[in-house]
Amino acid sequence: MAEMSESRIIRFLIVALCGVLAGFLPSFGMQLECGSVFANPGDTVAVTLYLTGSENVGGFQFLTPETGADFQVVDVRINDQTLRADVWRIATGCLVNGTIKVIGYDEHLAGLGGGSYKLLDLLVAVDADVMPGVYPIALGGVVICDPFGEIVHTETAYGYLMIRECDVQFSVQNDTLNLADQTQRVSILMYTWSPVAGFQFDILDSADIFKVFSCQNPFGEHWDISCVEMENGAARVLALATDGVPLPDSAEYALDMEIEINPEVQPGPYPVSIENLVVSDENAGSMCGEAQGGVVFIDSTFVFTQERPILEPTEYRLYSNYPNPFNAQTTIRFDLPKTAEVTLTVCNLLGQEVIRLADDRYPAGEYRLRWEGQNRFGQPVESGIYFVILQAGDNFQMRKMILLK
């Protein structure tokens, strides 16, 4: 990369350092936005950085995250269409802690006008043994100046690296069933990360508390779904696309199991698990599936107006919003096993924060918050894909939402 003139780079760094030391955080101007991206363990992916806002920008600097056990930034690729080599001077350097320092300055003092610009891509190498989850990407030391060296922004930029390990997830929903009505339902949520053309699994309760005799078909007329009883008492669910067209990715379905409760069962909590999961694509190829069990509480209370027992959450969990896709509003549910500082944020595809639905200390329990498809200014947002991100202490989880108008 071409070298900056010594006087200009020194001026930029001095102004930037003074702004950071002064804690100058204006509420206007341009800001650096770090995108969010899906990845699998062992992948190397590109995370895009954007410059957005209304001010004229003549220079910037930032630090990539420190090298960690989960992922590391291995390279920085400049977008030559935005930061033209005959106008901008870019310098990068690797520091002792593994971070990469990036400095850019417009030698002609013209700057980038207000708008949205793709600056560069961070190449992120994901560790092969990383656990699935949501990992924040924090860019520190952010300084953005106008063409005359005045600071217009110094706020840390955040994006998210979303690690997935499977193509489809099945999750038994915790519920309370009452002996007063022996014919009831147990629900299993299905979420696809990749197109799915067929699957089968066994649903098994821990103590023969119920018998599954049917499974409703949420996929439509082009799918066959059946349920058969196995010798061990489990119920095997088989589903197949009859016309070869798979379920799309990023879709959610509820599989409602019609069950008959054993009248001799004792009240209390009973684990329900999903076993022997097999998933296939449209070419009959094997896919990776993940199954999460749940707990069914059998209640002997015969008066339905009385309060039912509440199962305390045992883990941090962010559920898929319902409905999804949605039009006017959607409900977001999450569980906390203990008291925690909680933020619940809705972001767009660029990783930009749209609205913060929660930012407070919450005690342990189950929570449901509603989003009405508006940004933090109360303005309706456009149709498209959004992400809801739960941060509870050190725990990060994310779900994809689809807004249709």
- Is 369 in the same domain as 290? no
Give yes or no for residue 14 having a pLDDT over 60.
no
Last residue of a domain, one of 299, 326, 349: 299
Contacts of 55 (CB under 8 A, 6+ apart): 28, 29, 30, 114, 146, 152
Domain that includes residue 108, residue range: 6-163
Residue 367 sits in a domain whose CATH number is: 2.60.40.1930
- Is 138 in the same domain as 25? yes
- Is 148 in the same domain as 13? yes
Lowest mean pLDDT among 52-66, 166-180, 345-359, 369-383: 166-180
Asked, for residue 44, whether it belongs to a domain, the answer is: yes
- Is 22 in the same domain as 150? yes
Last residue of a domain, one of 163, 195, 224: 163
Q: In what order do the strands lie in the sheet with 168-172?
A: 210-215, 251-261, 183-192, 168-172, 289-292
What are the DSSP calls for 139-203, one per residue?
EEEEEEE-TTS-EEE-PPEEEEEEE---SEEEEEPPEEEETT-SEEEEEEEEEESS-B-EEEEEE
- Is 107 in the same domain as 128? yes
d(CA 203, CA 271): 11
- Is 11 in the same domain as 159? yes
- Is 379 in the same domain as 331? yes
Distances from the Cα of 322 to the Cα of 103, 190, 252, 331, 370, angstroms? 44, 13, 9, 5, 10
Residue 214 sits in a domain whose CATH number is: 2.60.40.680
Asked, for residue 310, whether it belongs to a domain, the answer is: no
Q: Specify the pTM.
A: 0.51
pLDDT digits (tens, 9 = 90+) for 103-135: 999 988 888 887 888 888 999 998 888 877 778
Asked, for residue 309, whether it belongs to a domain, the answer is: no
> How many domains does one find in the chain?
3
pLDDT digits (tens, 9 = 90+) for 281-294: 998 888 888 888 88
pLDDT attached to residue 351? 73
Output b/e per residue, 80-100; b: 16+ Cβ within 10 A: eeebeeeebbbeeeeeeeebb
Last residue of a domain, one of 299, 333, 355: 299
* Pair 176, 299: CB distance under 8 Å: yes
The residue type of 50 is Y
Q: Among residues 218, 216, 301, 302, which one has the least CA distance to residue 259?
A: 216
Please tell me the number of Cα atoms within 13 Å of 99 on its side-chain side.
14
pLDDT attached to residue 165? 66
